[in-house]
Amino acid sequence: MDSSNSGRDTGRSEATESNVARPKGAKNASTEAKETQSSGAYFRVFRYATRATWALNVVAFIAAIASGTLLPLMDFVFGKFVTAFTNFATGVITPAEYRVEINTFALYFIYLFIAKFCLVYIHSALISVAAIRTTKALRIAFLEQTLRQNVAFFDSPDAGSVTTQATTNANNVNNGISEKLTLTLQGISTFGFI
Instruction: Give 76-132 pLDDT, tens digit per residue.
Output: 999 999 999 999 999 899 999 999 999 999 999 999 999 999 999 999 999 999 999
Amino acid letter for position 13: S
Class of domain 49-193 (CATH, top level): mainly alpha
Task: Please tell me the predicted confidence (pLDDT) of residue 180.
Answer: 85
Low-confidence spans in the chain with pLDDT less than 50 = 1-26, 29
Task: Please tell me the predicted confidence (pLDDT) of residue 69.
Answer: 92
| Burial class for 24, CB neighbours closer than 10 Å (0-12, 13-18, 19+) | exposed
Domain range annotation of the chain: 1-48, 49-193
pTM: 0.70
Task: Please tell me the predicted confidence (pLDDT) of residue 67.
Answer: 93
Task: Please tell me the predicted confidence (pLDDT) of residue 38.
Answer: 63
In sequence order, what are the residues at sequence separation of 6 or more whose Cβ sits closer than 8 angstroms to the Cβ of residue 87? Answer: 93, 98
Task: Please tell me the predicted confidence (pLDDT) of residue 159.
Answer: 54
Task: Please tell me the predicted confidence (pLDDT) of residue 10.
Answer: 45
Where b means 16+ CB within 10 Å and e means fewer, 73-111 reads eeeebeeebeebeeebeeeebeeeebeebeeebeebeee
Task: Please tell me the predicted confidence (pLDDT) of residue 166.
Answer: 82
Task: Please tell me the predicted confidence (pLDDT) of residue 82.
Answer: 93
Own/partner pairs, 88-93, CB within 8 angstroms, 24+ separation: none
